[in-house]
Amino acid sequence: MRELSVDEVLAMYECMVRIRHFEEKVAEVYAKGIMPGLAHLYTGEEAVATGVCYALEPTDYITSTHRGHGHVIAKGADLGPMMAELFGKETGYCQGKGGSMHIADFEKGILGANGVVGGGIPIATGAGLAIKLRKGKEVVACFFGDGASNQGAFHESLNMAGLWKLPVIYVCENNYYGISVSKKRHQAIDDIAVRAASYGMPGVTVDGNDVLAVRQAAEEAVERARKGEGPTLLVCNTYRWRGHHEGDPNRGARYRSKEEIEEWMAKCPIKRCEEYLRSKGVSDNKFEAIKAAVDKEIEEALKFAESSPYPDESMALRDVYA
């Protein structure tokens, strides 16, 4: 694998900072009670979305989950309409009718986040089939959690994709919990990648807190898919720092210990990337400049969301299909 240039790694660093800071703002606003609906934050998992999406071309596709802010930001979603959607405003990606779990931007290849656990897996598989039928060169990256990998839709989709050699990268974000149920209590296996063997595709497990490792594994999977060699199951081991959603107290008293949370926080993917870049001669001033520029962007997105109108009642049934 070629070594990435410092600029390529810096771009991924900036993306991870954008995801982290966007969500820190969401947590702050949410705590004030002015944001409706639910917010499932991705904090701690930023290297997965970033490493995978930076292995893709703008013309490639992704499907996302209920914990999807990171995926869509990494694929290029605009922060203004994202924040507006979270506020339920008319200028949001779904005119304020979808909220945090329903960000889609077809022009950017974002086929949708999804509140249904495992719901994005058959959608990605269908997109892969469409690409194959029209002899396209695009690939689809499909994000889902360890819990979702127990769903029937996962097994049926991987079986079809393996059989038909569809250009899909199934990215399992193993954060070791499905809400409050630990992986040990919901899965009989340790390594989710072993499931790939049942469906005739490679299963690869990487350190999901190492953006370089994720990017390398994703690039290999993308190359396979583009060459017509079929799908890959890529399992990224990582951890969510916050509760399942904002409102889950997450103080280490309920379903996971404070020590466990702190142990993973010490493996911060952003700090790790910073250390790598420092070893390549990048100065702290550069990191601070990136953070300041990202914060400015987020403040603008917030202003845009706050000053946007709520949708009119007459919009309630528009875009509803039955």
Ligand X SMILES: Cc1ncc(C[n+]2csc(CCOP(=O)(O)OP(=O)(O)O)c2C)c(N)n1
- State which of residues 6, 11, 38, 116 lies at the interface with ligand X (CB under 6 A): 116
Q: What residues from 205 to 244 belong to the interface with ligand X (CB under 6 A)?
A: 244
What is the per-residue binding string for ligand X in 52-81, x denoting contact by CB under 6 A? --------------xx--------------
Q: Which stretch binds ligand X (CB under 6 A): 3-11, 83-91, 176-184, 291-299?
A: 176-184
* 178 lies in the binding site for ligand X (CB under 6 A): yes
Task: Please state the closest distance from residue 176 (CB atom) to ligand X, in A.
Answer: 8
- CB closer to ligand X, 123 vs 148: 148
Return the residue matching tokens 């060459």: 227
Q: Note whether 117 binds ligand X by CB under 6 A.
A: yes
- In the range 139-158, which residues lie near ligand X by CB under 6 A? 144-148
> Computed over its alpha carbons, how large is the radius of gyration of the chain?
19
Rounded to a whole number of angstroms, the minimum distance from the CB of residue 191 to ligand X is: 15
The CA distance from 106 to 261, in Å, is 36
Q: Does residue number 175 form part of the binding site for ligand X (CB under 6 A)?
A: yes
Identity of the residue, 99 or 145, whose beta carbon is nearer to ligand X in the bound complex: 145
* 131 is a contact residue toward ligand X (CB under 6 A): no
Judged by CB under 6 A, the number of residues near ligand X is 16
Nearer to ligand X by Cβ, of 115 and 202: the residue is: 115
Summarize as ranges the residues that interact with ligand X (CB under 6 A).
Answer: 66-67, 115-117, 144-148, 173, 175, 177-179, 244
